[in-house]
């Protein structure tokens, strides 16, 4: 059952959180320092001494190649020994942290959150807290055959903040913001948000994401050092270093983050289906979020971000993906002997609203006048 966490419930720090935050930039700085130091040293060497080192390298090229091969083999063995299979999805992934380390990371995150929002927690009798607890308990009870559901203590905190956000820490601590609750129309949509965030916890996505960043940081240390060692001046090295970081971000980090979000969407839909919620509200929720986002962009309150620069799939893409998975989710509800869904499909009003907003956008684009955010409310009523 879900418990309540108030403003004074703090847990001891197992590892100082500054440690993990410092190691990554320090290792990158050392790679730059080593590479640049080698370049300066090499450029200052007399020509005859450079030739001595070149001859030494030619004579011992096999030894150095064997050494590099052994290091590569050791790295592969380390990587292979830390590859696990994600529960319920079967995806293979690299996990560098064991259960104790994950617990330490979770407690650090929990401590930071509680300290930041300690003065803004709603009381345990508040209707929003009761709603989150009620929906969370129903999700837990319906999925109690999953070991990840009963091996942690789940708690609820609701923060009085206009931020439209919700997250669940790896320890099972649910943190909901009133800004998100005000957007949700019913328990089914609350379940859509909670099930998604709980899926991140069940699938250990926090530890996986940290592991992936840790692995990428290790892999690019040598290219970074090489860039600063080989390129003739600091300007070229800095530009190449920046380009390397952008390539890694665009082609590795961001796509991986979007994969984790999509995976949590998929499992979350199944959790809610087994709890007999109206799974069509998942699609309706993302459609509504897409409308809100579009209105803000048209009013200049938000800037357009290309999907390939985002950590999350777009709201429209998530809506479409939910619709694709809907037949499977509805079949799962029927298998669990859930009550029949209402004849009124909650997706239809959202689709009409999206069409209306698009038409208004086209009209106002011709007139050059901004769309009023209140128009979405009148369209939905």
Could you tell me which of 215, 349, 235, 214 has the C-alpha nearest to residue 288?
349
Could you tell me which of 193, 149, 195, 142 has the C-alpha nearest to residue 337?
142
3-class DSSP state of 321: helix
- Active-site choice (115, 148, 182, 197): 197
Burial of 341 (0-12, 13-18, 19+ CB in 10 A): middle
Angle value at C-alpha 293, between 259 and 381, nearest 5 degrees: 120
Angle value at C-alpha 178, between 320 and 268, nearest 5 degrees: 35
Instruction: Tell me how far apart the alpha carbons of residues 8 and 17 are, in angstroms, rounded to a whole number.
Output: 20
Query: Which tokens sit at 317?
Result: 């893409």
Our answer to whether residue 197 is catalytic in this structure is: yes
* Secondary structure (DSSP) of 71-86: HHHHHHHHHHHTEEE-
Check if the beta carbon of residue 8 is closer than 8 Å to that of residue 118.
yes
Could you tell me which of 201, 218, 193, 303 has the C-alpha nearest to residue 260?
201
Could you tell me which of 363, 181, 368, 154 has the C-alpha nearest to residue 271?
154
Q: Residues with catalytic annotation?
A: 197
């Amino acid at each position: 059952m879900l418990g309540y966490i108030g403003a004074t419930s703090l847990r001891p720090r197992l590892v100082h959180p500054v440690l993990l935050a410092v190691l990554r930039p320090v290792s990158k700085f050392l790679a730059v320092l080593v590479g640049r130091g080698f370049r300066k040293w090499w450029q200052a060497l007399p020509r005859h001494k450079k030739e001595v080192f070149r001859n030494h390298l030619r004579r011992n090229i096999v030894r150095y190649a064997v050494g590099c091969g052994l290091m590569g083999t050791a790295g592969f063995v380390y990587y292979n020994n830390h590859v696990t299979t994600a529960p319920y999805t079967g995806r293979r992934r690299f996990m560098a942290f064991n259960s104790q380390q994950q617990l330490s990371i979770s407690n650090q995150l929990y401590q930071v959150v509680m300290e930041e929002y300690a003065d803004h927690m709603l009381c345990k009798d508040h209707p929003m807290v009761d709603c989150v607890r009620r929906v969370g308990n129903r999700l837990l009870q319906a999925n109690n055959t999953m070991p990840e559901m009963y091996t942690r203590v789940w708690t609820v905190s609701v923060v009085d903040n206009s931020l439209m956000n919700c997250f669940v820490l790896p320890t099972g601590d649910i943190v909901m913001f009133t800004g998100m609750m005000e957007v949700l129309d019913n328990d089914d949509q609350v379940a859509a948000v909670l099930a998604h965030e709980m899926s991140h916890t069940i699938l250990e996505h926090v530890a996986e994401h940290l592991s992936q960043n840790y692995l990428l940081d290790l892999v690019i240390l040598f290219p970074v050092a090489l860039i600063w060692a080989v390129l003739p001046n600091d300007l070229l090295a800095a530009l190449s270093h920046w380009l390397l970081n952008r390539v890694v971000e665009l082609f590795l980090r961001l796509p991986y983050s979007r994969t984790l979000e999509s995976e949590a969407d998929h499992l979350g839909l199944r959790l809610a289906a087994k709890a007999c919620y109206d799974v069509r509200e998942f699609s309706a929720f993302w459609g509504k979020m897409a409308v809100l986002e579009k209105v803000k962009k048209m009013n200049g309150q938000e800037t357009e971000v290309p999907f390939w620069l985002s950590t999350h799939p777009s709201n429209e893409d998530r809506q479409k993906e939910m619709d694709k998975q809907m037949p499977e989710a509805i079949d799962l509800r029927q298998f669990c002997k859930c009550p029949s869904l209402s004849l009124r499909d909650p997706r239809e009003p959202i689709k009409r609203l999206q069409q209306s907003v698009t038409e208004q956008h086209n009209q106002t684009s011709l007139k050059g006048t901004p769309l009023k955010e209140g128009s979405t409310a009148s369209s939905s009523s």
